[in-house]
C-alpha cells in the first residue's frame, strides 16, 4: 500500500483522500475526515487524473523565493 511506504506527509494525505474517493465517498465526506476543504480534495483528484502519482507531489511555491532585481535593492547602510 502506497500510504504506508510514503515518507512525505502531504503526499500520504493525498493518497488517503484518493483511496476514500475510490471507495465511493463524496468530496465533502473526505474533506471532513482529513480536515481540509472539498475544493482541495477535488484539486488533488484533478492532479492525479492529469499527471498520475507524480501529480500528487508537492508543488514548488514560486512566490516564496521572489526577490527584487539588483537595480531595485536597497544598498546597505
Cα-based distances in Å from 44 to 4, 35, 47? 19, 14, 5
Q: Is residue 75 included in any domain, yes or no?
A: no
- Structural domain total, the chain: 1
Q: Is residue 14 included in any domain, yes or no?
A: yes
Q: Is residue 8 included in any domain, yes or no?
A: yes
Q: How confident is the model at residue 59 (pLDDT cuts 50, 70, 90)?
A: low
Q: Is residue 64 included in any domain, yes or no?
A: no
Whole-model pTM: value is 0.68
Q: Which domain holds residue 21?
A: 2-53
Q: Is residue 66 included in any domain, yes or no?
A: no
User: What percent of the chain lies above the pLDDT cut of 90?
Assistant: 42
Q: Is residue 71 included in any domain, yes or no?
A: no
Q: Is residue 70 included in any domain, yes or no?
A: no
pLDDT over 80 (residue 45): yes
pLDDT over 70 (residue 60): no
Residues 6+ apart with CB under 8 A from 4: none
Amino acid at each position: 500500500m502506497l500510504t504506508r511506504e510514503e515518507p512525505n506527509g502531504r503526499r500520504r494525505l493525498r493518497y488517503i483522500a484518493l483511496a476514500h474517493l475510490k471507495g465511493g465517498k463524496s468530496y465533502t465526506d473526505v474533506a471532513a475526515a482529513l480536515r481540509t476543504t472539498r475544493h482541495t480534495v477535488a484539486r488533488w483528484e484533478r492532479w492525479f487524473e492529469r499527471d498520475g502519482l507524480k501529480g500528487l507531489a508537492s508543488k514548488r511555491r514560486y512566490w516564496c523565493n521572489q526577490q527584487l532585481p539588483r537595480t531595485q535593492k536597497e544598498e546597505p547602510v
